[in-house]
């Protein structure tokens, strides 16, 4: 058999997928079953490829990502269900790491499987599993949440913040240069998108959190970066590779660049747009495409970005603008950007729409538009990404505490992490993080959201809590 290319990131996909297959088969069949035997054998072979190369094969679960021999495994749509299955199985056993070492044979795999399956209904699943494996020298396990060698939360938060503001600053620079008719370099823009992709790959929630803060003066630049972040996050969930994510991020960053050509008196108009204003405003997709093609020069990336700029207001049913005489299917990347654009725009206060909608209300409006204006499948992915209560939602818990949604929970969309800002006695507090997925000793959830309020109505400034 041909040894797989070790530089191929899909290697990790195979191992995660195969372990999931083994576990599923194991739960259905008896030990001697042929399907189970062959699944185990394939799993052992995949492990051995890594062991031969690195002297070990280690699977880590950090956040919602698997790592195989410290390389993050790209989320793949092909294996989506198996990945999610394995995530759930690892989490319910509090399993964060399993390391296989040389001289691994099928009997070791069997012992691992026995320990894994046996721990499922234990009250202390990790400890049960650990005890079962205590005599097996070449398999080690680690508890969930104890990842080693990772940056501290504070460091990561600082780096993410830096990347976000760098992106805004560079976007501002590019737009200003374009307006002044100056030459613009794409290198910086790509570097910054690369940096955002990198952060989203390793910890998507922090950068998404940054997009929830809407209280900056320069809406246009923040909006561009926010749409880029949210688009990359969707693309990452879909399983696009790094290059495609970079192209998507760039296209999203420049989707509104045509607004630099819209006269200020229209762009900054505080009253409702009249027909003439709309006529001018509706030209920005074309201006955007033109700017992109002119400043970047024509290549595959700029063509992709120009298509996104031209189509991002067209809607899936082509009811938007510009209106087409000959129908054409909206481009895949445009459909992603359109969702990110609509979400960020509606949750922001813009010049012509001072009062934004609350994140949960926006989601419900978008879901009503799913399939009409927006791609229904990509929208599902987006909702799964941001959760039922997106970051920035103001929520009241059944414990009479009030909080702000801080991080989405990929496994339970209605149980995000929340920053408590008012305690149960009605005292304003500095804010501490609680995980709504946590259960009390009685096995019940400690806190549950009962009401959502519009944070904009009360002018709640997320910057105070998130920055």
Partner 1 sequence: MVEELKNLIQQIIKAKKNRRLYPTDNPIYIKTIDDVFSRLTSLLEPNESLEFHITQYDIFSHDEVIYHNEDKYDSLALLLFKDGLQKLTVKRGIPRSELEEFIKIISLNFEEEVFDDDIVTLMWEKDFHYIETVVDESFLVDDDTYEETAIAQARESANNTGMIMKAYEEAFEAEKSKETHIVPLMKDDLESLIQEIESETKDKTLILLHLLFEILSLEETDKTHEDTAGLINEVLTYAVTQGNMEAIVLALEKIAEGNEKYSYSDKADQSLESIRDHVNSRDVIMRFGILLDNGMKLSEKIIHKFSTQLDRSSIPHFIDVLGELETASSRRIVIKILSELGKRDLDLVLKGLADDRWYLVRNTIHILRRIGDRSAVTYIRPAVNHPDPRVRKEAILALGELGQGDSLHVLKDLISDQDESIRIAAIRAVGLMGIPSAKEVILEKIKCNAFKDKSFTEKKECFHALARWKDRDIIDILMKIVKKRTFFNSTKNNEIKAGAAYCLGLIGAKEACTILGKLKHSNNRLLRDNALKAIKKLNYAKAG
Chain CA centroid to CA 9, Å: 19
Residues 6+ apart with CB under 8 A from 227: 252, 253, 255, 256, 337, 340, 341, 344
Q: Is 99 in the site for partner 1 (CB under 8 A)?
A: no
Q: Which is nearer to partner 1, 116 or 295 (CB)?
A: 295
- The span of 107-115, 116-124, 132-140, 379-387 binding partner 1 (CB under 8 A) equals 379-387
| 161: number of Cβ within 10 Å | 16
Reduced to 3 states, what is the DSSP secondary structure of residue 461? coil
Q: Which is nearer to partner 1, 19 or 186 (CB)?
A: 186
Q: Which of 71, 117, 136, 139 binds partner 1 (CB under 8 A)?
A: 71
x/- contact string, 386-405, with partner 1 (CB under 8 A)? --x-----xxx-----x---
3-state helix, strand, coil in the chain (%, to 5): 50, 10, 35
Applying the rule CB under 8 A, the residues between 437 and 466 that interact with partner 1 are: 449-453, 455, 457-461, 463-464
Q: Which of 129, 257, 338, 383 binds partner 1 (CB under 8 A)?
A: 383
Candidates 109, 120, 115, 114; CA nearest to 38 is 109
428-455 in b/e burial notation, b at 16+ Cβ within 10 A?
Answer: eeebeebebbeeeeeeeebbebeebebb
* Shortest distance, position 407 Cβ to partner 1, whole Å: 17
- The span of 23-31, 41-49, 121-129, 375-383 binding partner 1 (CB under 8 A) equals 375-383
Query: What span, in angstroms and rounded, lies between the C-alpha atoms of 446 and 424?
Result: 13
Q: Is 54 in the site for partner 1 (CB under 8 A)?
A: yes
Q: Which of 89, 331, 341, 344 binds partner 1 (CB under 8 A)?
A: 331
Q: Is 178 in the site for partner 1 (CB under 8 A)?
A: no
Q: Which of 128, 198, 369, 437 binds partner 1 (CB under 8 A)?
A: 198
- The span of 70-78, 110-118, 120-128, 132-140 binding partner 1 (CB under 8 A) equals 70-78
Q: Is 212 in the site for partner 1 (CB under 8 A)?
A: no
x/- contact string, 267-286, with partner 1 (CB under 8 A)? ----------------x--x
Q: Is 80 in the site for partner 1 (CB under 8 A)?
A: yes
Q: Is 323 in the site for partner 1 (CB under 8 A)?
A: yes
Structure-token pair, residue 312: 């991002």
Q: Which is nearer to partner 1, 33 or 368 (CB)?
A: 368
Applying the rule CB under 8 A, the residues between 112 and 151 that interact with partner 1 are: none
Q: Which is nearer to partner 1, 132 or 260 (CB)?
A: 260
* β-bridge mates for residue 139, sequence order: 100
* Shortest distance, position 441 Cβ to partner 1, whole Å: 26
Query: What span, in angstroms and rounded, lies between the C-alpha atoms of 352 and 345?
Result: 11
Query: What span, in angstroms and rounded, lies between the C-alpha atoms of 254 and 178?
Result: 12
Q: Is 426 in the site for partner 1 (CB under 8 A)?
A: yes
* Shortest distance, position 425 Cβ to partner 1, whole Å: 11
Q: Is 293 in the site for partner 1 (CB under 8 A)?
A: yes
Applying the rule CB under 8 A, the residues between 345 and 364 that interact with partner 1 are: 360, 363-364
Query: What span, in angstroms and rounded, lies between the C-alpha atoms of 94 and 438?
Result: 13
Candidates 307, 292, 231, 216; CA nearest to 261 is 292
Candidates 455, 437, 454; CA nearest to 446 is 437
Candidates 97, 21, 18, 100; CA nearest to 56 is 100
Which residue is listed with tokens 């494996």?
Answer: 133
In 35-122, DSSP assigns E strands to: 57-62, 65-68, 71-72, 95-100
Query: Nearest 5°: phi and psi at 153?
Result: -55, -40
Q: Is 301 in the site for partner 1 (CB under 8 A)?
A: yes
Which residue is listed with tokens 């496994």?
Answer: 411
x/- contact string, 23-52, with partner 1 (CB under 8 A)? ------------------------------
Across the beta sheet with 394-397, the strand order is 428-435, 417-422, 402-407, 394-397, 449-453
* Shortest distance, position 359 Cβ to partner 1, whole Å: 10
Q: Which of 21, 213, 227, 419 binds partner 1 (CB under 8 A)?
A: 213
Q: Which of 9, 64, 131, 280 binds partner 1 (CB under 8 A)?
A: 9
Structure-token pair, residue 323: 């209106």
Q: Is 59 in the site for partner 1 (CB under 8 A)?
A: no
Q: Which of 290, 350, 399, 446 binds partner 1 (CB under 8 A)?
A: 290
* Shortest distance, position 145 Cβ to partner 1, whole Å: 24
Site size toward partner 1, by CB under 8 A: 101
Q: Is 467 in the site for partner 1 (CB under 8 A)?
A: yes
């Amino acid at each position: 058999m041909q040894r797989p290319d070790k530089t191929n990131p899909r290697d990790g996909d195979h191992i995660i997928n195969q372990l999931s297959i083994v576990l599923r088969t194991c739960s259905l069949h008896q030990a001697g079953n042929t399907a189970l035997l062959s699944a185990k054998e394939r799993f052992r072979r995949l492990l051995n490829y890594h062991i031969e190369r690195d002297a070990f094969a280690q699977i880590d679960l950090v956040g919602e990502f698997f790592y195989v021999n410290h390389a993050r495994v790209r989320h793949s749509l092909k294996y989506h269900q198996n990945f999610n299955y394995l995530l759930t199985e690892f989490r319910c056993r509090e399993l964060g790491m399993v390391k296989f070492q040389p001289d691994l044979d099928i009997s070791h795999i069997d012992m691992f499987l026995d320990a894994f399956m046996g721990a499922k209904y234990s009250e202390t699943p990790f400890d049960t599993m650990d005890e079962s494996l205590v005599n097996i020298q070449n398999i080690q396990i680690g508890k969930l949440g104890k990842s080693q060698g990772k940056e501290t939360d504070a460091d990561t938060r600082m780096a993410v913040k830096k990347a976000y503001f760098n992106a805004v600053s560079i976007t501002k620079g590019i737009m200003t240069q374009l307006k002044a008719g100056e030459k613009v370099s794409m290198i910086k823009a790509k570097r910054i998108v690369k940096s955002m992709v990198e952060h989203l790959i390793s910890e998507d929630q922090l950068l998404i959190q940054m997009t929830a803060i809407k209280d900056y003066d320069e809406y246009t630049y923040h909006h561009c970066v926010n749409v880029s972040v949210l688009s990359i996050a969707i693309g990452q969930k879909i399983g696009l590779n790094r290059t495609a994510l970079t192209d998507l991020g760039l296209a999203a960053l420049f989707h509104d660049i045509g607004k630099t050509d819209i006269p200020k008196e229209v762009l900054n108009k505080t009253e409702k747009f009249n027909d003439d204003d709309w006529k001018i405003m509706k030209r920005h997709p074309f201006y955007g495409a033109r700017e992109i093609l002119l400043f970047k020069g024509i290549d595959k990336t700029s063509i992709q970005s120009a298509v996104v700029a031209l189509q991002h207001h067209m809607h899936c049913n082509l009811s938007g603008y510009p209106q087409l005489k000959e129908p054409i299917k909206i481009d895949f990347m445009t459909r992603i950007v359109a969702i990110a654009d609509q979400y960020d725009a509606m949750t922001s206060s813009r010049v012509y729409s001072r009062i934004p909608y609350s994140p949960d209300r926006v989601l419900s409006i978008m879901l009503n538009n799913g399939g009409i204006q927006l791609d229904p499948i990509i929208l599902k992915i987006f909702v799964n990404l941001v959760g039922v209560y997106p970051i920035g939602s103001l929520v009241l818990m059944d414990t009479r505490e009030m909080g702000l949604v801080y991080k989405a929970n990929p496994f339970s969309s209605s149980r995000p992490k929340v920053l408590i800002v008012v305690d149960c006695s009605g005292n304003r507090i500095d804010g501490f993080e609680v995980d709504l997925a946590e259960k009390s000793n009685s096995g019940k959830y400690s806190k549950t959201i009962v009401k959502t309020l519009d944070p904009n109505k009360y002018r709640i400034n997320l910057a105070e809590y998130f920055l």
